[in-house]
Chains A and B, each alone.
Chain A
Amino acid sequence: MPRVFITGLGFVTSIGNDAEAVASSLRALRHGFELYPPFQKPEIACKVIGTIKGFSTESTDPEDWTWPAGYEIKRETIRSMAPHGLYAHCAFLQAVGDARLGEGDVSNRDTGLFAASGGSPMLTYFHHDRLLKLGPARCSPLGIVASIVGTLNFNLVAAFRIQGASTGFSSACASSAHAMAYAFEEISRGRQKRMFVVGGEDGNRDAILPFAGMRTLSNQSNPDLASRPFDAARDGFVGTGGGVVVVLESEDEASRRAVEPYCELLGWGQASDGYNVAISHPDGTGSRMAMENALAATGIAPSQVDYVNAHATSTLIGDVSEARALRAVFGVKGLRPAVSSTKALTGHGLSLAGAMETAFCALVMRRGFIPGSAHITRLDPECEGLNIIRSTLPNAARVVLKNSSGFGGANVAILLRRS
């Protein structure tokens, strides 16, 4: 069975728009939050989001958008994109450069692309409103491919002439972890030699505000306090967007091209809560089973795991649920791997989260540190007994477990090993 390696990364995130900036923010525990102008209204209690800097994507017309210098994107490419399509397109170019892939390496039948995003609520609303008010004849022919879930894979597959497997994944906040997991399957089953895994979210008013309707957002107006997973005073998550691309390659392909991988993707597991459409199981049953399945699938003993990048989003119920799952897998055996949630820095990237945080894990393994769990002043007593690290550790983890959970109680656990 071919082994699978991570050989390239690209980032457009609230904590940096390239690997260097992201690594520096993770090491220094520097967050990416700001007061978000569209939320500074009396009827909106939530004030803060993880903003994407250096891009302007407020307009519903992609030709109004701006992005950092160095990315050349044609009108005919951008016209069918959502904001997160632009973020991911830039991250894709970074990842291709980072993995030192030539044009022929990207576009061939052995190279595929799996993506995950929640679509673009902003553009869905804009185009649908036009459709109903002005009639179909006055509507952009590309409104639908810019808006619907799947826009990310449609656009990137076309723009980069992907010829291998391509599809999108939809399990809410576990989506891009599922994309990563099934991309692993494509390679480990010998069906593809290389896979791009892409996560993206608009992270703007229309993408984040619906979660205020659900009462799951933090109403903190202080950007330094808004996202604090595992803290006793946490009051909800902080939304964010962006685009992250991870390049997976088979061992043969990585060695043929003589690239040094970030780490090996050992395997994964998944399980579902079977409990509630939106609330995590109070005991973290699904998350526990997903971790157990990942360990069993890879033959890794719990004692070998030295860092867990938690899903913990800073919600009241979710963080405790995951803490219980972690205690069941590790704590009861007397094991205390380092645990942190980088969502304290980035905010919750929703469909983007799994790919973004897996990329963080790969990056920090190479850079030789473990990012701390920021913004904890008083640990939630429910989370006691876990080794939740409050500051960055100066050593590299050898085996990392990455948790992701989504609506409907979908849970994915991914295992990585420093190579």
Chain B
Amino acid sequence: MPDSVQSNLGGTKPFPLATKPFAPDDEAALREALKRCSPSTFEAAVQFRKTGNADHMPAVVIGVIERFVEPDLRSKLKDADDDLRLIEDLGIDSLTMMEIVILVEDVLQLSINNDELRNLRTVGDVKTFIDCKIRGLPLPRPTKFLPIEHIGAVMPVQPPFLFLNEASVSSTGANGKYKITGQEFFLQGHFKDNPVMPASIMLEALGQLAVLFLLEGAPTEPGKMIGSNTIFFTGCEGVRAHRMCKPGDILTLSVKLKRMKMPLATFEGAIRVGQEKAVIAEDITLTFAFVESAVAPAAIDGVAQPGAGDSSANPPLRVAMNA
């Protein structure tokens, strides 16, 4: 069995917490390890080590990340939401990510495989990841980036009524983009000599992204999958349109799963154009059903389906391999 497969499987096992009592020596070592972190980070780490209470974990992880972020970028982390991106927003490269991990491992007494790291793209990913490790929960499926060919292949909706150009799917939601080309057939009549993307179509686009999430990201039962021809719209609440969207605009769509219980899944959705809010939907609810899974789901882009094998396409420390 190849190493990469082994370590992926190993990563889903519950992590055995240290059973040794927290001694004064440990506290001194912890203080030394966290000497460049805020006092509250140290306090949270002490509490975690004494009690094993995972509620202290986010403060430790954020405190460690903060310590490795250049001082002028740290303010971003102060009121960060979970979507704050490690590379793009915080300037953390893969080597710094390694440094963060080594310190987190040391402080929280857990071990993390290189293979597991490359899927961590946001602060939220890191928190979820560490939380799962500590609670012994299975690791969330990593964010998958889906090109248009893949979207077209799995979606029940097809052109000219497919309003996604690209998408990424995580275990908690999905993000997508759609560029209004001006060639959409309905723009000829909506409106006369004034093409404006219909709000109903924008809601449709969010719905399509939610469908993609159900097919590619949602938790399923063993041996089952969500049937692509079982998903339908049931309702929506709290929809507001804030901005007219016209040809040339690039819609940035996102849906987050709020609840999921057979046969209903409810999402919140939002569309932005650049930094401007375009559409908000507080609730979008779809109905779905499980079917027997005929074949194991295929790996996308070499990313991390246990057993899929080929993870060499995306080595974790490409930069170090320059050596």
Contact = CB atoms under 8 A, between A and B. Distances in A.
A137 B105 contact: yes
Given A75-B70, A76-B70, A141 B99 contact: yes
B291 interface: no
A6 B97 CA distance: 42
A141 B36 contact: no
Interface string B127-162: 000000000000000000000000000000000000
Contact of B36 (A63, A138, A142, A145): A63
Interface string A263-306: 00000000000000000000000000000000000000000000
B102 A142 contact: no
A76 to B, nearest CB: 7
Interface of A: 63, 74-76, 79, 137-142, 144-145
Contact of A74 (B70, B111, B320): B70
Nearest to A137: B111
Given A63-B36, A76-B70, A140 B99 contact: yes
B15 to A, nearest CB: 14
B208 to A, nearest CB: 41
A141 B317 contact: yes
Closest A-B pairs by Cβ, 10 of them: A141-B98, A141-B95, A141-B320, A142-B95, A74-B70, A138-B102, A144-B323, A137-B111, A141-B317, A63-B36
Interface string B110-136: 010000000000000000000000000
B96 interface: yes
A76 B102 contact: no
Assign chain B's interface to a size class.
Answer: 10 to 19
A140 B102 contact: yes
A142 B319 CA distance: 11
Nearest to B36: A63
Given A141-B98, A142-B95, 10 more contacts: A63-B36, A74-B70, A76-B91, A137-B102, A137-B105, A138-B102, A140-B99, A141-B95, A141-B317, A144-B323
16 contacts: A74-B70, A75-B68, A75-B70, A76-B70, A76-B93, A76-B96, A137-B102, A137-B105, A137-B111, A138-B105, A139-B102, A140-B102, A141-B95, A141-B317, A141-B320, A144-B323
B106 interface: yes
A123 to B, nearest CB: 15
B99 to A, nearest CB: 7
A406 B191 CA distance: 83
Contacts of B99: 79, 140-141
A74 B68 CA distance: 11
Contact of B106 (A138, A142, A144, A145): A138
Contacts of A139: 102
A75 B93 CA distance: 13
Given A63-B36, A74-B70, A76-B96, A145 B102 contact: no
B132 to A, nearest CB: 19
Interface string B87-104: 000010101101100100
